[in-house]
Amino acid sequence: MSRETSWVQRIIRSGEFYAIVLSIGAFAMSAYSVFIVVRQHEDERTAEFAQTLYERVHEYNLLKLEYWELGHVFEMPEDYEKTRDRLRLAVKDRSEAERIKLIESEKSIVSMQLITFEELFYNLSLAMQSGDRTRQQIVEETIEYYTQGVLRNPRVLWLSSADGGNIASHLNPDAYAFYREGVLENEKFPLTVQPDPYGLFPPQDGT
């Protein structure tokens, strides 16, 4: 019998073998417990993020009900003109003061949309840093909804631009660069719509 075999047998007979097995088992259980705890926290953060998204959608729906005259600002690019033209008929007789109020309300809504985008950018960074792939996927898909839809709304584009309300410049520098890359300079999904400088109130003939 080899020395190695005798050495193993001595360990088994002395009871050290069972202590080693128990130690390894305890370590494995401990590592698994840590994994479960971390995963639970990741799941909780992902669930909290998803809940926040649903709440934000609900808030936007309430805004659309309250400010129905501004429904065009919430539309996807392909539906924008149809909604805007319908709403133009509804508000064409508004006073100058009412028109100014609507334009300022447009700016507030666009500001909210860009703040949401900045929050998404921040959450994407956190998900990538923590390795939470589920949350990262949810955030990336939501960001695409904004960069390929919400933020390409012609009126949103105008009010975000330096020529319009310059609202996008209020984003933090990293988020602004991400906005430009995803909306204005996206080579994979080029911007095909033009900003709308007039919105609900087109220039009158002769003005």
What would the pLDDT profile of 151-186 be if each residue is shown by its tens digit? 999 999 999 999 999 999 999 999 999 999 999 999
pLDDT at 8 over 70: no
Question: Which of 182, 76, 169, 38 is CA-nearest to residue 124?
Answer: 182
- Asked if 171 and 179 touch (Cβ cutoff 8 Å), the reply is yes
- Asked if 96 and 85 touch (Cβ cutoff 8 Å), the reply is no
Percent of the chain with pLDDT over 70: 78
More confident residue, 69 or 5: 69
Q: What is the structure's pLDDT at 54?
A: 75
The two structure tokens encoding residue 144: 């695409």
Q: What is the structure's pLDDT at 56?
A: 76
Helices (H), 148-198: 154-160, 173-179
- Of 30-34, 117-121, 129-133, where does the model show the most confidence? 117-121
| Neighbouring residues of 110: CB distance < 8 A, sequence distance ≥ 6 | 73, 155, 156, 159, 160, 165, 167
The two structure tokens encoding residue 77: 């690019």
Q: What is the structure's pLDDT at 105?
A: 95
